[in-house]
Structure 1
Amino acid sequence: MDIIGIGYLGFESARIEEWRTYGPQVLGFQVGASPEADPESLYFRIDDRRHRFAFHPGQRERLAYIGWEARGKLEFEAAVRRLREAGVDVTEGDVALCELRGVKAVVRFRDPVGYQHELFYAQKWMPRSFQSGRPHGGFVADGRGLGHVVLITPEFTPELEHFLTEVMGFHYYGAGAGKGKTAFYRTKLNNYTSHDIAYGHGPGKMGIQHIGLFVKSLRDVGETYDIVKQRNLPMMMTLGQHTQDPHVSFYHFSPSGFAFEVITELEPWHHDGFELNPEKLSTWGHEVVGPILGPSVRSPQEVLDAEGLAILERNKHRHA
């Protein structure tokens, strides 16, 4: 599939008012205009796209959907055919859903462990329209996607790996230096970063662990780091540099309990030509000062809706 990367993420949250302050003042997001049909939700911009993050009112904190961007109409149509030929249950988005997402077309489908995915093309944008919520050098997104996401899954089945590599066409990057079963993947068109999505095996657990957010300079990382410390926001890891990427980052927790990794690229990432097996997570820094799994990671019953739970249970019993 000719997928660029993650175009947008949607969440259910009972803490939208906290996000309304945290997004602009801590991360530097711009509060975007909510669609007329969805006035109660909060939409954030990090570049000239209509939005990259959407927070919908709810009773719990959870990831609601991941939106993948196809390069264009023909690539979108080919990807939908591939999903259907692989036996994936695909639902076409109607005019109302397209308007909410700000896209020309969108379909919805689930992965084998129950997470909701969407595929779209042609999201609305306006050149030179992004205005950061605080003084900020800007985010690295545009034609690369918003960054990466790491999910926890209670089951790491062969069907999940097949779905990601054979159906979605993602490149398998490796397991990194983390403990346990973890797998990193990047989209076909991603030549910029090591991964767009990763799944970590957490028996009995599910949810979003962190989002990787790329900013344009080390100053942007440092100023965000200072704001997080000044506000006494909970942190996961201090400033540091991972072994497998030439980037500097730190991790802190958002109002919804998952972490943001704020990242700057010290030099362009390049494919290593072989699967890495790092001896340790980071070359320096990244002291663990908080939980690796925040309160956003809970039981599947607390994270998935009924349809997602049914998919998870069906695949779990298949391997029992």
Structure 2
Amino acid sequence: MAKRDPYEVLGVSKEATESDIKKAYRKKAVQYHPDKNPDNKEAEELFKEATEAYGILSDADRRRTFDQFGWGAFEQGSGGFGGFQADFAGFEDIFGDIFSSFFGGQATGGKRTRGKAGRDLKYALKVKFEEAVFGTEKEITVAKNSLCETCDGTGAKAGTSPVRCETCAGSGQIRLQQGFFTISKTCHVCSGAGEMIKEVCVSCRGSGHIRTESDIKVKIPPGIDHGQRLKLRGEGDAGLAGGPSGDLYVQVNVEKHKFFERQDTELLCAMSISYSTAALGGEIQVPTLEEAVTLKIPAGTEAGKIFRIRNKGVPVIGSSARGDQHVQIN
């Protein structure tokens, strides 16, 4: 049976751009990929057909050759590309990107990480208004998965070692032939570890992790605002098979103040004064987050008038700069 035109296979016109072709292939790849259509031969063939079509149209030279000579230019012995055994530089990056994005696989020859990163954790930390303004240090207790010390995270019984996975021959990857490309996907038997545990560790029951509580010191920088998060690298769950630990994200929740209101780095407050002070002028003592300061009230001050006290607001994070305090007269 004659091969279908690659433009027809991907559902694009002969004027299609590189972006159009890539989008069309992504759509076909998602629709017909074997992982999404197990034991479906028809879907497998359509996937291979789409992959082959993309191999033609994603490369300017091969596309130009096909437009001039058709499939005949790519048949073995025709003096053409000989089944695409030519250079695939550039194509592998696109192909690997598509499969890592949609299926967790990669093009053959890509670099694979055996270890699995630990899970990121979240923690909500309540601090006082003044602590958020001037900074502080808090100690928190976080429950997380830590590396099992009995088996050193292998999950295997003490005195034993994991054995090589026979399904993937220890590579952690299974190769699938898709048209004229070989695609690697994570081994479903060993989950990409490349090895199997025959006798499990009694402490962690083969998981490589144990549940622990860890005391962690958290530095709160001056000027942090309500809802902002701090990232503590490596303080999340421990990784597997040598993978890195996850991170801990601490969300800071700031308590409200009975006198001050905060707007970014500015502090707002309200002060009541007597009628005579408003009419004739005078001085009042205004609380700040440090010491009280004297504020001069000019004669004829009306209710609602706002005065500024410079550098008595909230520090700018990572800077020596500081906001102002605004005093509204009632």
TM-score, scaled relative to structure 2: 0.17
Which structure is richer in relative contact order (CA contacts within 8 A, separation 6 or more)? 1
Larger radius of gyration: 2
